[in-house]
């Protein structure tokens, strides 16, 4: 009987772990949480069964073996519990646990997640930004006067004691975006993503088309929203939302901002800070091709989960990432839609291929013929 219980526990653990692994490309939603719950139950039952068996043994080495077994299943159970609970405090503990074992030279001064600074510490950081950004940027005041930049810094400093750490990071993003340079933005060096890690994003992939913002992927839970146009979040229309969020998005032109607006436009914390929504969850209003309205209340997920999903599925709907990454330049033709797709990865002559000049001539001739 004990062997059967032990075997079933191991089977549940392996099955739950495998489900978590295979569903991790979209690390949120009901199915992912159920698989994490199964994994958690399996870990717990296996831990109890094995520990009791080892402790009852008369052999000393088996009793000693119980210590690493307990430690191993405590860790797996802890991680599984975080996945099930899906709350920021759990992920905070997990992140800080990993940060504690990261070598100092790899932390990039990132010692605690989420960061929390005193007013005096924020003042030092903001002054550092004020002094160092102009020194290291080639043309920091191409699109604005230095006085405008300094005034924005002063305004932020005057209300530091009224803002949370997260809200201060939003304001710093806004100030940095005034530079109007897509490569000058606020990110977390350690995690390689926007600075507001502990906020949540609504789990939709979006794309800007000529007539509005559309859902291109809704994951597992919001599959029915794919292909719908977002017309409103809360009581604010989409065009007004874009105007409110746009100042926080880095970029030298509208097209860059549209391409990389999603961590800001879908950020529940930023939407709340700018007065667009009142709570973490929000009611979205969509329209289908016939003009029929679809209303849906959507709950956000942790930004690190969203960005993991975004990166894992990036190649699924982006032709530029499906191949030819090692070529400096290339194009392909879709006969069905009569569309030419051109990609330039590097402005440098490709060895064994026509020069850039000859390639441009070839492409131009091909387009004229077809």
* Residue 26: per-residue pLDDT: 85
- pLDDT of res. 82: 67
For residue 193, what are the β-bridge partners? 188
Q: What pLDDT does residue 341 have?
A: 86
For residues 189 and 108, the answer to whether their CB atoms sit within 8 Å is yes
The answer to whether 341 touches 332, Cβ cutoff 8 Å, is yes
129 — alpha (psi -120 to 50), left (phi > 0) or beta?
alpha
Question: pLDDT tens digits, residue range 122-138?
Answer: 999 999 999 999 999 99
The whole-number pLDDT of residue 191 equals: 45
Query: Over 70: is that where the pLDDT of 323 sits?
Result: no
pLDDT of residue 294: 96
> pLDDT value at position 190?
43
Q: 3-class secondary structure for 122-136?
A: HHHHHHHHHHHHHHH
The verdict on whether omega for the bond into residue 114 sits within 30 degrees of 0, i.e. cis, is yes
This prediction's pTM: 0.76
Mean pLDDT estimate for the chain: 83
Decide: 306 and 191 in contact? Cβ < 8 Å.
Answer: no
pLDDT in tens, 270-295: 999 999 999 888 999 999 999 999 99
- Report how far apart, in Å, the C-alpha atoms of 22 and of each of 31, 63, 215, 357 are: 11, 35, 24, 46
The pLDDT-based confidence of 347 (bands split at 50, 70, 90) is confident
Q: How is residue 361 written in tokens?
A: 């001539």
Beta carbons of 175 and 128 less than 8 angstroms apart: no
- CA 95, 101, 107, 111 torsion-angle sign: positive
* pLDDT tens figures, 44-102: 777 777 777 777 777 776 777 767 777 777 777 777 666 666 655 666 666 677 667 66
Q: What is the pLDDT of residues 161-191, one digit of tens each?
A: 999 888 998 999 999 999 999 889 887 544 4
To 5 degrees, how large is the angle CA 180–CA 182–CA 183? 115
Strands (E), the chain: 187-188, 193-194, 200-201, 205-209, 212-217, 229-233, 236-237, 282-287, 293-298, 301-302, 329-334, 339-344
> Which pLDDT does position 193 carry in this prediction?
52
**For 225-271, what is each residue's pLDDT tens digit?**
999 999 999 999 999 999 999 999 999 999 999 988 988 999 999 99
52 within 8 A of 93, measured Cβ to Cβ = no
Task: Please tell me the number of Cα atoms within 13 Å of 351 on its side-chain side.
Answer: 1
Return the structure tokens found at 253. Answer: 């032109």
**Are 47 and 70 contacting, i.e. CB atoms less than 8 angstroms apart?**
yes
Is the pLDDT higher at 108 or at 131?
131
Q: What's the token pair of residue 5?
A: 């219980």
* Cα–Cα distance, 94 to 198 (Å, whole number): 13
- Residue from 53, 12, 52 nearest 35 by CA: 12
**pLDDT value for 144:** 92
pLDDT at 312 exceeding the cut of 50: yes
The residue among 145 and 343 whose pLDDT is bigger is: 145
pLDDT at 189: 47
108: pLDDT strictly greater than 60 = no
pLDDT for the residue 57: 75
Residue range 7-36, pLDDT digits in tens: 776 777 777 778 777 777 888 877 887 887
pLDDT score recorded for residue 316 = 58
């Amino acid at each position: 009987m004990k062997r059967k219980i032990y075997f079933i526990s191991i089977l549940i653990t392996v099955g739950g772990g495998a489900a978590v692994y295979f569903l991790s490309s979209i690390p949120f939603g009901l199915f992912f949480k159920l698989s994490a719950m199964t994994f958690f139950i399996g870990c717990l039952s296996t831990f109890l069964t094995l520990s009791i068996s080892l402790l009852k043994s008369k052999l000393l080495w088996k009793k000693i073996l119980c210590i690493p077994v307990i430690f191993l299943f405590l860790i797996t159970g802890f991680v599984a519990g975080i996945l099930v609970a899906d709350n920021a405090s759990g992920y905070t503990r997990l992140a800080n646990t990993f940060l504690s074992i990261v070598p100092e030279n790899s932390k990039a001064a990132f010692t605690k997640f989420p960061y929390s600074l005193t007013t005096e510490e924020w003042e030092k950081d903001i002054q550092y930004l004020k002094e160092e950004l102009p020194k290291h940027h080639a043309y920091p005041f191409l699109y604005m006067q230095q006085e405008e930049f300094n005034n924005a810094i002063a305004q932020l400093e005057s209300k530091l004691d009224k803002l949370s750490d997260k809200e201060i990071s939003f304001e710093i993003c806004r100030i940095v975006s005034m530079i109007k340079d897509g490569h000058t933005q606020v990110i977390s060096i350690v995690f390689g993503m926007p600075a507001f890690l502990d906020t949540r994003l609504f789990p939709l992939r979006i794309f800007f088309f000529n007539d509005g913002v559309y859902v291109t992927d809704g994951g597992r839970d919001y599959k029915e929203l794919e292909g719908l146009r977002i017309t409103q979040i809360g009581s604010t229309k989409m065009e007004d939302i874009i105007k409110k969020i746009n100042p926080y998005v880095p970029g030298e032109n509208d097209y860059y901002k549209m391409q990389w607006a999603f961590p800001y436009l879908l950020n529940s914390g930023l939407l709340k800070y700018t007065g667009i929504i009142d709570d973490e969850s929000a009611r979205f209003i969509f329209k289908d091709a016939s003009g029929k309205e679809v209303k849906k209340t959507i709950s956000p997920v942790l930004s690190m989960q969203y960005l993991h999903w975004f990166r894992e599925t990036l190649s699924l709907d982006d032709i530029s990432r499906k191949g030819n990454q090692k070529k400096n330049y290339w194009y392909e033709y879709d006969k069905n839609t009569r569309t030419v797709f051109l990609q330039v990865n590097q402005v440098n002559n490709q060895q064994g291929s026509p020069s850039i000049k000859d390639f441009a001539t070839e492409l131009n001739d091909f387009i004229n013929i077809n």
